[in-house]
Amino acid sequence: MKTRIAVLVSGGGTNLQALIDAEKRGELPDGEIVLVVSNNPDAYALTRARKAGIETAVCVKPGMEGKLIEALRAHDIEMIILAGFMAILSKNFVSLYPDRIINIHPSLIPSFCGEGFYGLHVHEAALKYGVKVTGATVHYVNEIPDGGRIICQKAVEIREDDTPETLQRRVMEQAEWILLPRAAQTVANRIRMEKEQ
Ligand code: GAR
């Protein structure tokens, strides 16, 4: 049985799209995206999920985590992918899915990560510091924001004339959309093997 995956989103959902496209191409053979959950009812990612025929749920504050747990249980979710999910999950929540939640972060962790570093802010910080190389990281999620074990990383060159927007786009194209589906398959495969033992 394939690993049942939920993808958590908050915004545009280009990383979700990369996952959907990879699954369609047969590059996620050990996993199946069965649910997309957003903490933002207006997220375009929800439209992407609906277009792909994937069930969606919206879980907003207050009580966001309780609603999220309900939705995940209702769909027998075994693995969670944070793909541009802009809320920090509690220690309690994370302990329910040990080594079964992964996150994509748009920098080379441990640079430009942790609380306050999300979305465009990460690229603004990299440009302000003046680093010449940045990238993306996929890691397991634990109780420390962006602090879990690293699964994979990819470096991306920074150009003299970069703006946060041009840099964000290049990091997505050259790193995020490639790394996330690969990491998803690796983890979905491990979970499937564990189940079948
Ligand atoms: C992506 O760059 C993702 O790495 C980042 O937000 C963007 C979401 O874009 N995530 C974080 O900063 C998490 N700390 P998307 O909605 O188009 O995938």
Give, using CA atoms, the residue closest to atom 17 of ligand 1.
14
pLDDT of 58 > 90? The answer is yes
Give, using CA atoms, the residue closest to atom 12 of ligand 1.
118
* Sheet containing 150-157, strands listed edge to edge, beginning at the edge strand earlier in sequence: 55-58, 31-38, 3-9, 79-82, 101-105, 133-140, 150-157
What pTM was estimated for this model as a whole?
0.98
Q: Does the Cβ of 135 fall within 6 Å of ligand 1?
A: no
Look up residue 110 and give its two tokens.
């441990």
Question: What Cα–Cα distance (Å) separates residue 2 from each residue in 19, 52, 53, 91, 126?
Answer: 15, 18, 18, 27, 38
7, 15, 46, 170, best to mutate for ligand 1 pocket (most atoms within 8 Å of CB): 15
The pLDDT assigned to 13 comes to: 98
Interval between CA 1 and ligand 1 midpoint (Å): 29
Q: Does the Cβ of 33 fall within 6 Å of ligand 1?
A: no
Instruction: Tell me the torsion sign for CA atoms 2, 178, 150, 20.
Output: negative
Interval between CA 168 and ligand 1 midpoint (Å): 9
What does the pLDDT look like over 117-151, one tens digit per residue? Answer: 999 999 999 999 999 999 999 999 999 999 999 99
Q: Does the Cβ of 122 fall within 6 Å of ligand 1?
A: yes
pLDDT of 197 > 90? The answer is no
Q: What confidence category does residue 61 fall into, taking pLDDT thresholds of 50, 70 and 90? A: very high
The residue whose two tokens read 């541009």 is 84
Q: Does the Cβ of 15 fall within 6 Å of ligand 1?
A: yes
Q: What confidence category does residue 77 fall into, taking pLDDT thresholds of 50, 70 and 90? A: very high
CATH assignment, 3-196: 3.40.50.170
Question: What Cα–Cα distance (Å) separates residue 142 from each residue in 8, 25, 48, 89, 145?
Answer: 16, 30, 28, 9, 7
The pLDDT assigned to 17 comes to: 99
Q: Does the Cβ of 176 fall within 6 Å of ligand 1?
A: yes
Interval between CA 171 and ligand 1 midpoint (Å): 10
